[in-house]
A and B are shown apart, each in its own frame.
Chain A
Amino acid sequence: SQTIHQWPATLVQPVGSPLSLECTVEGTSNPNLYWYRQAAGRGLQLLFYSVGIGQISSEVPQNLSASRPQDRQFILSSKKLLLSDSGFYLCAWSVRGQGRRYEQYFGPGTRLTVT
């Protein structure tokens, strides 16, 4: 069966510090991968998605970047965190390909607080 891992679960970082959040998927190949941010009490904002190794699409201009060094690994980074980067970050994957069901499977999330 498929499993998605995200770490760390919680993170407190000072303004200006770097960030690296990691997401890995097990039990599937060639997934689409996604990073979302959820502000407190709000919906999910799609940040990045990837359809393959090294292929990253950014949805909104921001202080963050994403990379996909391996098929089932997705990394969210920042060189210098801002207060506005605080939030709940969720990684997700979905099956790629025409005619497939497109449901997404979410990781447990990382709660980031920038102080």
Chain B
Amino acid sequence: DAKTTQPNSMESNEEEPVHLPCNHSTISGTDYIHWYRQLPSQGPEYVIHGLTSNVNNRMASLAIAEDRKSSTLILHRATLRDAAVYYCILRAPNYGGSQGNLIFGKGTKLSVKP
């Protein structure tokens, strides 16, 4: 399975944008890039995913490099509630295959200062 590399931790100020990087140099052409986050004492929460084009939803934006070897999760205005561990995960579409599990790394722990 292709692996991802993320910084262990990052800090941000409240109401400022946050850019969380992820490197995935061995990504295959059909791997989707997924982001999940885990708030303290909660299960992981789906944030966003994309294949090649940049993606936006109500929670965040996902910027994907042209060569797809890296991506960046963008939180446009960080709030204290965004303090969490953010996981970047590669997921094969696996249509008709036998496994659809997520492979989590250690993620990036984001701290947000008031």
Same assembly: no
